[in-house]
Structure 1
Amino acid sequence: MQRREFLIFAAASSLLSGTAGAAPVAGTSLSLPVAINKSGRLRMLSQRGAKAWLLLVLGVLPDRSKSILAQSLASFEQILGELKTLQPGDDIRGLAQALEQDWRVYRPQLADLRADPKAVWAHSESVLAAAQKLTVAYEKAAGTSGGQLVNLSGRQRMLSQRMAKAYLFRQMGVNAAEAGSMLDTAMKEFAKAHEQLKAAAQSTAQIKSELALVEQQWFFFQNALQLRAPADRVKAASDVATTSERILEQMDLVVALYERL
């Protein structure tokens, strides 16, 4: 992608987010389960944005990757604004402000294909950590087993993108050893959490049905995440990108079901 084209795209994505970071509309507010879901989505977006950035740098699925990056930037801004309608206590308010500060540093990195990959790595990690703290704080405020399941299932969305991010960083040769370890850890965490969700007493027949579909996608995703020969690098990255989006979409349905409990 040419620099001029990317700057136009970045400006467009900024317009998409528009007033998303502005003060919330009077009279609107979120419930705690919804807040857990939304703050958990910020964890996912921190990793999905990095994944899309890496795909663009690598020249893989450029049109789709550009769209994913624009959506991720705009969604992050929108959710930051929405969460301002529910900040019970100074603890959550402070965590939300810290997350926003980290995001303001990270966002310009994602909007520039010339950014240092190691900086993108570092900022994606710091924003993830800040979003994790905020999500846990919302879960504690809710104080219910249902809130815990929204958090746990929401974290699966993040892991789907984290695995893809780690794979692509390793393929690029940036922090390769650390990326390999990250990928291995995320795969193990995803598999363990999936079993916990299946075994949860609150998991309805509908939720278990959706989890079975997640399991099907997980099979394909694990295959895509295997190391490939150098000649297959582009195809491998494309497969990881595609399957990570599919498992994300399916997990999103599961999170929504837990949120409604």
Structure 2
Amino acid sequence: MKKIPKCSLAFPAAIVALGLHGAIAQAAMQSQVEPAGLVIEDVGAGERINFAGKLRMLSQRISASACYYVNGVGGDGSRSALTTSTAEFEKIVKALQYGDESIGIIGPEERRKTLVQIEKLQAVWGPIKTASEAILEGDDHQANILHIAENNMPLLDEAKLLVSEIVGQYSNPAEMLQSDAMLIDISGRQRMLTQKMSKESCGISTKINAMGSADALTGTMNMFETSLIALKDGFPNAGINPPPTDEIQAGLDVVYEDWTTAKAKLETVVAGGQLSVDQMNAIFDGLNVTLKDMNDVVMLYTAAAKSAI
């Protein structure tokens, strides 16, 4: 197995930043072995964790694609990304609230605490959705991109809180092991980090300060690399197991190759280098490839978690 060179950021600092160890540990303490003969209803636990985690990514993908689109970068690709991401965010929020068997989320949410967090998320999401749709319709780009720039991080924060609620709720040993829930969540967070880096790079390059800074981009890059190493090699002290299947290992190898290419371009942004439109296009396209490959890994983790029970 090929080892990834270690980056400078200590594992615990980045992994603990997930904020989910407490939720998973609490779920482990509260969960009891189910009585023999009890039928466990499939409510799509893995899918709920996966798609809740995807909201984090979409909060950043909407911001990144809006930034690139209003600055004439990415062509039809940035417009398409903004369109599909806005629609998908709305679809997932509704699925988590009401259920959607087409994406494996079975039945409506019934837990009051989770529903309250969904409502908090929707309160921030509504105006961002309106701004995104206005940009696509050609309305006042400056005011709408500023709203997205200033509110995408509060949206991400609410999405993180929702993920924490859902991981704690659905990581029941009868439905999913806590260690598997963590792998799905961390790999899912990697998707978000690809788009956060994309957004921050665009913000730096186009002087939209609320979108990102060199310090913020450096921190996001370190977190992505640290988490990728932990997923690929395992990090038992943080509760992260090595890849459970050869297919997942191969998928992480692909993501690492993507990352090697993307990292070099992002380091130019951090260093303050002036980027051409072609270079900005390369970052936008490259991180979207990394997103796709990371999403494939998340789906493999979700499938592996189901087969482990």
Whether these two folds match at TM > 0.5 is yes
Corresponding residue for residue 137 of structure 1: 165
Larger radius of gyration: 2
Structure in which a larger fraction of residues adopt helix: 1
Q: What displacement does 1:196 show?
A: 1.3
> How many angstroms does 1:223 deviate by?
1.7
SS in 1 for 2:142: coil
Please show how residues 189-200 of structure 1 align to structure 2 within 5 Å. Answer: 189-198=223-232, 199=234, 200=241
**Which residue type is aligned with residue 220 of structure 2?**
A
Matching residue's letter, 2:184:
V
Q: What is residue 61 of structure 1 aligned with on the other side?
A: 74
**The 10-residue stretch of structure 1 (243-252 or 87-96) with the greater mean CA deviation from structure 2:** 87-96
- Give RMSD over aligned pairs: 1.8
1:148 to 162, 178, 182: 182
Other-structure match for 2:265: 224
Q: Is the 8 A contact 1:60 1:238 kept in 2?
A: yes
Conserved? CA contact 1:207–1:257, under 8 Å: yes
1:53-73, CA deviations, whole angstroms, 9 ceiling, x for partnerless residues?
111111012211111111001
Question: Across the two proteins, how many residue pairs are aligned to each other?
Answer: 232
Q: What are the Cα deviations for residues 6-33 of structure 1, in whole angstroms up to 9, with x where unaligned? A: xxxxxxxxxxxxxxxxxxxxxxx84111
Residues 186-236 of structure 1: per-residue CA shift (max 9 Å, x gap): 101101111111112453211111000000000111122123743x42122
Which stretch shows the higher mean deviation, 247-256 or 233-242? 233-242
Q: CA deviation at 1:96?
A: 0.8
Amino acid in the other structure paired with 1:214: V
Matching residue's letter, 1:259: T
Corresponding residue for 1:15?
A: none
Deviations 1:73-101 (A, max 9, x none): 11111111111124242111111111111
- Report the counterpart of residue 13 of structure 1 in structure 2: none
Counterpart-to-counterpart distance in 2, 1:207 and 1:258 = 7
TM-score by length of 2: 0.71
| Equivalent residue for 2:94, pick from 81, 85, 90 | 81
So what's the TM-score if we normalise by structure 1? 0.84
Distance verdict in 2 for CA 1:188–1:88, change over 3 Å: farther
Partner of 2:130 in structure 1?
A: 108
Separation in 2, partners of 1:130, 1:256: 23
Q: Distance in 2 between matches of 1:136 and 1:207?
A: 24
Taking a change above 3 Å as real, the CA distance of residues 172 and 247 of structure 1, as seen in their structure-2 partners, is: same
1:241 and 1:30 map into 2 onto residues whose CA distance is 36
Give the aligned residue type for 2:295.
D
Runs of 4+ in 1 over 6 A off after TM superposition: none
Gap regions ≥5 residues in structure 1: 1-28
- Residues 249, 177 of structure 1: CA spacing in aligned structure 2 closer, same or farther, 3 A cutoff? closer
Change (3 A) 1:115 1:48: same
How far did residue 171 of structure 1 move?
0.9
Query: What percentage of aligned pairs have identical amino acids?
Result: 26
Structure 1 pair 140–176 and aligned structure 2 pair: CA distance change class (3 A): closer
- Change in Cα spacing, 1:219 to 1:62, as seen in structure 2 (3 Å) is same
1:71 aligns with 2:84: yes
Structure-2 change in CA distance of 1:30 and 1:41 (3 Å): farther
* Cα pair distance change 1:161/1:193, threshold 3 Å: same
Q: Which amino acid aligns with 2:264?
A: N
